[in-house]
Structure 1
Amino acid sequence: MIDNKLVVKVRIVGEEYTLRTEASPEHTKSVADHVDRTIRAIMGAGSTVETQKAAILAALQITDELFRERAAMEALTADIRQLASDIRPLLPPAKRGEDGHPV
């Protein structure tokens, strides 16, 4: 079996990590930079926080961002489906996709 994973080195809060990933190096570094910025923001928020605790708080914050974006995407998808449903009757019969053929 051929391993198509790339090796990418990133630095998060001063520690270097070697990651094996199928994502591009640019994407992987961008993700690592986001994690680094989030941890540093938590550590710099005034109270002294250990790196490990800051990493957990950063994980919670990033996961919250992910969940909110997913909910927004689901709402947008529902809105688009409703709009498509509203518009379908206005289309000529051949364009409605009612015969099992996609629009």
Structure 2
Amino acid sequence: MIEPKSVVKVRIMGEEYTLRTEASPEHTRLVAEHVDRTIRTILSGSSTMETHKAAILAALQLTDELFRERSAIDGLTADLRQLASDIRPLLPPAKRGEEPGAA
């Protein structure tokens, strides 16, 4: 079920943004806080970096995190499918999810 869109105001690097989102306001605020924290961490490592460049580096870092998590999930999904395939023959026929009379 699609959640109704809500309007959430967040602050990133001292700037206020009004977002329309289907996510909960709490989730949206947590995401904005994570983005703000990531940009600030990058800026803390350099006294001369411009904010927009830090934002681009933060986007790259957050996208890297996303891709690594997706890859980990894909690996776990493959492992679970293999485990289910390995276990299926050990189950009684009624629990294998097979059609009656199927071999």
- Relative to the length of structure 2, the TM-score reads 0.90
Matched position secondary structure for 1:23: coil
Q: What residue number does 2:30 align with?
A: 30
Q: What residue number does 1:98 align with?
A: 98
Alignment of 1:8-27 (within 5 A): 8-27=8-27
Q: Using the alignment, how far apart are the partners of 2:99 and 2:48 within structure 1? A: 64
Q: Using the alignment, how far apart are the partners of 1:47 and 1:61 within structure 2? A: 19
Residues 13-59 of structure 1: CA deviation (Å, up to 9, x unaligned): 11110111111100000000000000000000135211100000000
Matched position secondary structure for 2:7: strand
Q: Using the alignment, how far apart are the partners of 1:65 and 1:45 within structure 2? A: 19
* Gap regions ≥5 residues in structure 2: none
Q: Using the alignment, how far apart are the partners of 2:29 and 2:91 within structure 1? A: 46
Moved over 3 A (4+): none
- Which letter maps to 1:33? E
Q: Using the alignment, how far apart are the partners of 1:56 and 1:46 within structure 2? A: 14
Q: What residue number does 2:52 align with?
A: 52
- Relative to the length of structure 1, the TM-score reads 0.90
- Which letter maps to 1:30? L
Among all aligned residue pairs of Structure 1 and Structure 2, give the percentage whose two residues are the same amino acid.
78
Structure 1 residue 73 corresponds to structure 2 residue 73: yes
Q: What residue number does 2:88 align with?
A: 88
- Which letter maps to 2:37? R
Q: Using the alignment, how far apart are the partners of 2:90 and 2:48 within structure 1? A: 61
The alignment's C-alpha RMSD in Å is: 1.2
Deviates more, 1:14-23 or 1:68-77: 14-23
